[in-house]
């Protein structure tokens, strides 16, 4: 699916899920989650905290992939929740992820949420 939503519009959504290591303060997933929470977003984490996207307690607006692509595709394939848009952080992308998202008509954008927060919040 081609990107319809602008990055600015992504940052105006409310419910974010960060997929990655949100426990280790040196990891980008941790920094992204912390920054989102500081800006008032509703945030949960999959990877080190929740084991599955399906465990998230709310409807997902934005799923932020900040994880090894091999783990990211596995979590996407297991997911049964609706997601408005997937943000693919630098280094989390793969041909398999792009193909999966296109085949399942899930909108995505390659971007960094830390930059989005700096520009739009």
Report in angstroms the alpha-carbon separations of 80 from 22, 32, 56, 63.
22, 24, 11, 13
pLDDT over threshold 90, residue 3: no
Tokens at 37, concatenated: 């929470």
Average pLDDT of the residues of the chain: 95
Distance, in Å, from the CA atom of 50 to the CA atom of 47, rounded to the nearest integer, reads: 6
pTM, entire model: 0.95
Edge-to-edge strand order for the sheet containing 15-20?
Answer: 42-47, 15-20, 60-65, 83-88, 108-110
pLDDT digits (tens, 9 = 90+) for 59-99: 999 999 999 999 999 999 999 999 999 999 999 999 999 99
**What percentage of residues in the chain have a pLDDT greater than 70?**
98
pLDDT over threshold 90, residue 4: no
């Amino acid at each position: 699916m081609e990107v319809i939503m602008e990055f600015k519009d992504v940052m105006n959504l409310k419910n974010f899920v960060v997929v990655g290591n949100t426990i280790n303060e040196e990891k980008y997933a941790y920094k992204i989650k912390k920054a989102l929470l500081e800006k008032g977003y509703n945030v949960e984490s999959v990877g080190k905290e929740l084991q599955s996207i399906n465990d998230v307690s709310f409807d997902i607006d934005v799923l932020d992939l900040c994880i090894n692509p091999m783990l990211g595709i596995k979590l996407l394939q297991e997911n049964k929740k609706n997601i408005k848009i997937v943000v693919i952080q630098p280094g989390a992308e793969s041909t398999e992820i792009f193909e999966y998202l296109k085949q399942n008509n899930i909108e995505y954008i390659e971007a960094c949420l830390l930059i989005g927060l700096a520009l739009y919040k």
